[in-house]
Amino acid sequence: MPEGADAKYILGGQGNLWTEQVPSLHHAEYMTWPRGWALAEDFWSPASIKNWPDFVRRAENQFRRYDISGIDYSLAMYDPVVKVKRQDGKTIVEISAEVPGLEIHYTLDDQMPDKYSPVCSGPIEIPAGGPVTLRLVSYRNGVPLGHLITIKPDDLIHR
């Protein structure tokens, strides 16, 4: 419920998928799930029972069903969350995950991160004096999840 809104005037919620840039049913599925589940959870569940780790568990169960059924879905909930700040003339990157239990591996040397790359365990200071491309990928139990995130030097500076 939006802050300040009177609940008696709210009949429900809606989540639109504008399809003028969605070329196929496969892509429409990808754009819909798990966003649709999250909207249903938000619209129909009382705030007192909303629980993100439980939602993740239920979504992952549904992913297995969709895999069997051949339905596509997004894994963006596994993508690292990146915040960049300037501190004492240095560029500091703070990396976190929305899904509990993930390890985020990264590289700064333009290599592709894998399960042997360093794990983010705190803020990362970006070395000064040269172009650095930050690459990140989330892992759980040695298996990559989500997307490879690549942030080029100019994008790091402008964040």
pLDDT digit string, tens, across residues 27-44: 999 999 999 999 999 988
2 pLDDT more than 80: no
Quick check: is 17 in a domain?
yes
Quick check: is 1 in a domain?
no
Quick check: is 123 in a domain?
yes
| Rg of the chain taking only CA atoms, in angstroms | 19
Q: What is the pLDDT of residue 89?
A: 84
Q: Which pairing describes strands 90-96 and 124-126: parallel, antiparallel, or unpaired?
A: antiparallel
Q: What is the pLDDT of residue 38?
A: 95
32 and 65 belong to one structural domain: yes
Q: Which of 40, 69, 98 is the last residue of a domain?
A: 69
Q: What is the pLDDT of residue 46?
A: 86
48 and 83 belong to one structural domain: no
Rounded mean pLDDT, 128-155: 90
Quick check: is 2 in a domain?
no
Q: What is the pLDDT of residue 110?
A: 85
81 and 152 belong to one structural domain: yes
Query: What is the residue type of 75?
Result: L
Q: What phi and psi, each to the nearest 5 degrees, are found at residue 25?
A: -60, -40
pLDDT level of residue 90 (50, 70, 90 thresholds): confident
115 pLDDT more than 90: yes
Q: What is the pLDDT of residue 117?
A: 96
Instruction: Reduce the DSSP state of residue 114 to 3 states and report it.
Output: coil
Higher pLDDT, 156 or 133: 133
29 and 95 belong to one structural domain: no
Q: What is the pLDDT of residue 159?
A: 77
36 and 88 belong to one structural domain: no
92 and 54 belong to one structural domain: no
Hey, what are 104's tokens? 């985020």
83 and 153 belong to one structural domain: yes
Q: What is the pLDDT of residue 93?
A: 94
CA dihedral (63, 39, 78, 84) in degrees, to 10, reads 170
Quick check: is 151 in a domain?
yes
Q: What is the pLDDT of residue 128?
A: 80
Range of the domain at 34: 7-69
Work out how many domains the chain is built from and give that number.
Answer: 2
